[in-house]
Amino acid sequence: MLIYKIFRRPEWDAFRAAGETAGAPVDLADGFIHFSTGAQVTETAAKHFATESDLVLVAIEADTLGPALKWEPSRGGALFPHLYRPLRLSEVVWDKSLPLGATGHIFPEATL
């Protein structure tokens, strides 16, 4: 199962340069890296990145993250994947630009 992380372009560039990341400022504050499932990611983008256009959508295979990936209740009680360790660049399955269109972000078809 693929799970998704949305990065702002500078965060993605820093991740690529370093080879791993502890996440965005919200992740650092919360102590884990926030991910979304395919069913959750469009709402995540709308809620947290509504007006941001220079984003990168990153896909990760959940099963490869091991026991540091926890499924915990969040928005509306739904279970969200949270990673309690740095994410390694080698764990990224793919990355794609996430442009902002007239009615919201335009997601790759494979995500939804």
What are the sequence ranges of the domains in the chain? Answer: 2-111
pLDDT at 37: 96
Q: What is the CATH number of domain 2-111?
A: 3.20.170.20
Q: What does the alpha-carbon distance between residue 15 and residue 38 come to, in Å, rounded to a whole number?
A: 22
The sheet with strand 69-73 has its strands ordered as: 33-34, 79-83, 69-73
Return the SS3 of 53.
coil
Q: What is the pLDDT along the chain (112 residues), one digit of tens a residue?
A: 999 999 999 999 999 999 999 999 999 999 999 999 999 999 999 999 999 999 999 999 999 999 999 999 987 889 999 999 999 999 999 999 999 998 899 998 766 5
Phi then psi dihedrals of residue 91, to 5 deg:
-90, -10
CB 79 within 8 A of CB 22: no
pLDDT attached to residue 75 = 78
What is the pTM for the complete model shown? 0.93
Terminal C-alpha separation, the chain:
12
